Amino acid sequence: MSIAKTRRRRGLVLKVMAGGRGISLRITPGFLVLVAVLLSLGLWQARVWLDRGASRHQAQIQELEKANSQYRAALALKEREKEQMLALAEDRFEQLRSQLQSQDQELAQIGRVVGRTSTTRRTLKGSRSGRHSNSLRLKMNYRKLMAAVEGRESDLSRLRAAALDYRKRVQREREAVALNATPSLWPCRGSLTSGFGWRIHPVYGYGRMHTGVDISAPSGTPIRATAAGRVIQSGWLSGYGYAITLDHGNGLSTLYAHCSSLAQGVGSFVRKGQTIAYVGSTGVSTGPHVHYEVLAGDRQVDPSSYLVQKDPPASMANHSRQGI
């Protein structure tokens, strides 16, 4: 194949020889301009495509760098969380040790209250392990502490229940003692003939404060202690005739007057309901009865505020004379 170039007036003619035959190509200036334009367009398109590709790659690189930055930030956050969790675990470790010590003290205190020996265990020893402590050892110590705390809670639950029962029993005993020392019984069977307060005295004939209550009953009717106490007076007491006085503690005392005879002497301790004297009409009296007083300190108070029953129990025997 051969190419022959000839220049004519209307452009460049190329002759191409192929297989003994010649092919003539006429290249005009317009054709060259067209080729140049097409080449320029092709180069511009290629450049545009390369620029787009570069932009895409740049965007991908930026996304990768952003993801890498986020990954590094996440790693840093995880590391901080790890440090915080380790610090929290160390703090919890110390809290559990302190809780064990407090439980030991409470066990010992409750044991002293209920009179039992507490089954305390030795608190785990050790100190804060620092920021770079062995996490496995910390976890093992934490489990030991948790087991010790749970065991101690079991001991405390039993001792708390025992202490609660003990306090309830003591409270019941105190209430029983208080009730036993409260003058809540009537001193004898009979009829209430005069209450507490101002009245016209049946003997002196003028208004006078009646400092107790009068219960009419046959002579010889047993008079019982309205509360447990100690006899602090027993014998003749001026206008009261034969009288007996009991001290019940807490500033309370009771007096039983106009008795025919006395069954207890000074210094004797009597039970609630125990016979201490017998109904009579000694001293300033118009008939057999018992004059009963309750004293709070040195002041006579209305006995009805302490009595459980509104009225005294009825007498078992008939009697015609009303004492006052």
- Please tell me the predicted confidence (pLDDT) of residue 43: 85
From the centroid of its chain, how far is CA 195?
Answer: 50
User: Token pair for residue 85?
Assistant: 């969790």
The tens place of each residue's pLDDT in the chain, 324 residues long, gives 444 444 445 566 666 666 666 666 667 777 777 878 888 888 888 888 888 888 888 888 888 888 888 888 888 888 888 777 777 777 777 777 777 777 777 777 776 666 555 444 444 444 444 444 455 555 566 666 666 666 666 666 776 777 777 788 877 777 777 778 889 999 999 999 988 888 776 665 666 788 999 999 999 999 999 999 999 999 999 899 999 999 998 899 999 999 999 999 999 999 999 999 999 999 989 899 999 999 998 899 999 889 877 777 775 444 434 445
Checking DSSP bridges between strand 229-236 and strand 213-216, what pairing results, if any?
A: unpaired
Checking DSSP bridges between strand 21-27 and strand 11-18, what pairing results, if any?
A: antiparallel
Q: Are residues 216 and 278 in the same domain?
A: yes
CA distance 57 to 45: 18
- Please tell me the predicted confidence (pLDDT) of residue 241: 95
Residue 315 lies in a domain: no
User: Token pair for residue 239?
Assistant: 């206008």
pTM listed for this prediction = 0.49
Q: Which domain holds residue 146?
A: 85-180
- Please tell me the predicted confidence (pLDDT) of residue 135: 58
User: Token pair for residue 73?
Assistant: 């930030």
- Number of independent structural domains in the chain: 3
CA distance 99 to 123: 10
CA distance 91 to 138: 11
Instruction: Give the containing element (helix H, strand E) for 293.
Output: strand 289-296
Cβ-count burial of 303 within 10 angstroms (0-12 exposed, 13-18 middle, 19+ buried)? buried
Residue 196 lies in a domain: yes
| C-alpha Rg value of the chain to the nearest Å | 58
Residue listed under structure tokens 């020392």: 181
Residue 141 lies in a domain: yes
Q: Are residues 171 and 249 in the same domain?
A: no
Which of 20, 37, 70 terminates a domain? The answer is: 70
CA distance 133 to 112: 40
b/e code 219-232 from CB counts within 10 Å (16+ = b):
bebebbbbbbbbbe
Residue 247 lies in a domain: yes
Give the CATH number of the domain where residue 237 resides.
2.70.70.10
Q: What angle do CA 173, 296, 278 make, to 5 degrees?
A: 85
- Please tell me the predicted confidence (pLDDT) of residue 303: 92
